[in-house]
Amino acid sequence: MADTEAPTLAQWEVDEIDRANASGLTPVVFVHGLWLLSSSWKPWRDLFEANGFTTIAPGWPDDPRTVADAYEAPEAFAHKMVQQVTDHYLEAISRLTRRPALIGHSFGGLIAQKLAGEGVAFATVSIDNAPFKGVLPLPASALKSAAPVLGNPGNRGKAISLTFEQFQYGWANNLDESEARHLYTEYHVPASGAPLFQAAVANFNPFGGETRVDTKNPDRGALLVLAGENDNTVPLAITRASYKLQAKNAGITEITEIPGRGHSLVIDSGWRDVAEPALAFVQRFDRAPVD
């Protein structure tokens, strides 16, 4: 891929990209979702790099670097919208010299599928992805999980934090309280309310809005949907419907359901049960092409 100027990228993101290019290895791009920072991917990045890949994990535009910084300036998260974030990752990917694999979780899973639809990846792993245009199921648990944001229309332009009880229901429903509190303290940050409103109205917009995914692009690459069996935030009905839409693509499309797991599956103590099938999938399609 051609090296282009990317004015929205922070210097630390450019440094990660330069490191990836200098390695000569196949890059894997990690995309986080709401209520997390890119640093939450560190164990995954270590695993992938130990297995011969190089990795980058850009933030969303202007994300604080640490959880402590996030609570010092929570307003930094407000107003972030799906296409703005997608474009930020497209800028990062445009600077890579090898076509990457993508791994995203929650809204990061939706964004990873949008990126795949742009034809920029050879393989994509989408984990408990937020719904996109055409995904119709709205299970009660998903509505309850989104209620802290969607319950107040004024939250669209705000940065919203979850209470521990809200986090426990939406993320940590399959964990004991001790681990749930640890994850809440270690990882949880405020999040933009806008993407949830964008997803909520997507099916009423004839053009799909910013959550539209191009599922038909023949250059989409291989796609694996990973789904937590007991996720309250993104229940199986949503990930199965996402898979059915993507399975119409000419490329390889697969789904794997992870038993007994909730929305915290990428950061909790069982993260390797999710990371290892993701790694195996990327390895299957890694041909390290030079663009």
Task: Flag whether 225 is in a domain.
Answer: yes
pLDDT of 71 strictly over 70? yes
Quote the CA–CA distance of 173 and 183 in Å, as a whole number: 12
Task: Flag whether 1 is in a domain.
Answer: no
Task: Flag whether 3 is in a domain.
Answer: no
For residue 51, the model assigns a pLDDT of 98
DSSP 162: P
Asked which of 16-30, 93-107, 119-133, 201-215 is least confident by mean pLDDT, the reply is 201-215
> Which residues, listed in sequence order, are joined to residue 254 by a DSSP beta bridge?
224
Contact between 27 and 188 (Cβ < 8 Å): no
Structure tokens at 208: 């799909």
- Give me the amino acid identity at 265: L
The DSSP code sequence of 70-135 is: HHH-GGGGTT--HHHHHHHHHHHHHT-SBPPEEEEETHHHHHHHHHHHTT--SEEEEESPPP-TT-
**Measuring CA to CA, how many Å separate 121 from each of 50, 124, 223?**
21, 7, 10
Between 137 and 54, residue with greater pLDDT: 54
Give the pLDDT band (50/70/90) at residue 287: confident
Give the pLDDT band (50/70/90) at residue 205: confident
Task: Flag whether 5 is in a domain.
Answer: no
pLDDT of 263 strictly over 80? yes
Task: Flag whether 91 is in a domain.
Answer: yes
16: phi then psi, degrees, rounded to nearest 5: -65, -40
Would you report the helix, strand and coil content of the chain in percent, each value rounded to 5? 45, 15, 40
Task: Flag whether 248 is in a domain.
Answer: yes
Task: Flag whether 6 is in a domain.
Answer: no
Number of domains in the chain: 1
Asked which of 170-174, 214-218, 242-246, 287-291 is least confident by mean pLDDT, the reply is 287-291
The mean predicted confidence, pLDDT, of the chain is: 94
- Give me the amino acid identity at 201: V
For residue 206, the model assigns a pLDDT of 65
Asked which of 152-161, 180-189, 258-267, 281-290 is least confident by mean pLDDT, the reply is 281-290
Residues 6+ apart with CB under 8 A from 151: none
What residues make up the domain containing 184? 11-285
Q: What value does the mean pLDDT take over residues 100-116?
A: 98
Contact between 34 and 106 (Cβ < 8 Å): yes
For residue 208, the model assigns a pLDDT of 60
Whichever domain contains 247, its CATH number is: 3.40.50.1820
Q: What angle in degrees, to the nearest 10, is found between the helix axes of 194-201 and 82-94?
A: 110
The model carries a pTM of 0.94
Quote the CA–CA distance of 229 and 210 in Å, as a whole number: 27
For residue 207, the model assigns a pLDDT of 58
Quote the CA–CA distance of 273 and 261 in Å, as a whole number: 10
Task: Flag whether 243 is in a domain.
Answer: yes
